Amino acid sequence: EQRKGTQHTEPGNLAGVRHIILVLSGKGGVGKSTISTELALALRHTGKKVSVSGSRRLYPLPGGAPASGACARLPQVGLLDVDLCGPSIPRMLRVQGRAVHQCDRGWLPVFVDQEQGISLMSVGFLLEKPDEAVVWRGPKKNALIKQFVSDVAWGPLDYLVVDTPPGTSDEHMAAVDALRPYGPLGALVVTTPQAVSVGDVRRELTFCRKVGLRVIGLVENMSGFVCPHCAECTHVFSRGGGEELARHTGVPFLGSVPLDPELARSLEEGRDLARGFPDSPAFPVLSSIAQRI
């Protein structure tokens, strides 16, 4: 049940976030939540480290011995699931059923990573039964999205990854409107070889242009099947469609993630988290994207 009232509208809850990335797709089921989750892990583990002078967990800056006092910490990453009708991220990160607590600044997000480097907010935490469908009219959905931005005590974040519903709907507008005050917004478009459609991607890009989202690029998911026995990759659907589409629409092509049963399993079983470092087949592509952001 949505929390009554909107008392916590302090703009400070997301102040200081360095990058906000919306993950978009023309169709559902293309792996948008999977890519959002892997991107959050990649940003945490391989995103640009943040220079600090305080006493938090510190790492030498890349490039050898740190200059006197110059150290860096791993980035803090928030993951916001505004796919209200299909909130699958709590399950992927093995935190389904966790309670969202209140503090004086609003809702506390659920901390996922062992190092508490990833915090997640999802409607999935607010439903009594995790598989319950959210059948809400637009204004109620939009109000919840606004609350997810202004009423969540995100803490100091370096990156916020936003998993959005398929297509371009009112929820996207609500998210963009609520997030815009916090800085420039970027968009990552996910497609699959089956769903490669110039029309779909063009609609996404038109949306980005109209609302002022910077398109980071296009990532193709489930391109080719990796055999679990011999690890050979078979391109079941035509190859290179995503790349061609990116060329055609003038956006950067960021890479392909194969259809790999190991990826779904590693998320289902929470192995990426258990190791404390992601080892999924999507990780190399997502970490190279993380370094570009």
CA distances from 5 to 69, 110, 196 (A): 46, 21, 42
| Interface residue list for ligand ADP (CB under 6 A) | 25, 28-34, 86, 88, 221-222, 257, 259-260, 263-264, 267
Judged by DSSP in three states, 144 sits in helix
Cβ atoms 179, 149 nearer than 8 A:
yes
For ligand ADP, the closer CB: 211 or 264: 264
- 50 known ligand binder: no
| Residue whose CB is nearest to ligand ADP in the complex, by number | 31
Residue 190 CB, nearest approach to ligand ADP (Å): 7
For ligand ADP, the closer CB: 212 or 228: 228
For ligand ADP, the closer CB: 204 or 260: 260
For ligand ADP, the closer CB: 13 or 280: 280
End-to-end CA distance of the chain: 35
Comparing CA positions, the residue from 203, 234, 209, 205 lying closest to residue 218 is 205
- 226 known ligand binder: no
- 29 known ligand binder: yes
Cα Rg of the chain (Å, integer): 19
d(CA 13, CA 17): 9
- 31 known ligand binder: yes
Comparing CA positions, the residue from 234, 226, 181 lying closest to residue 9 is 181
- 30 known ligand binder: yes
Residue 215 has φ and ψ, to the nearest 5°, of: -80, 115
Residue 36 CB, nearest approach to ligand ADP (Å): 8
- 227 known ligand binder: yes
For ligand ADP, the closer CB: 46 or 266: 266
Binding-site residue numbers are 26-33, 227, 230
Binding-site residue numbers for [4Fe-4S] cluster are 227, 230
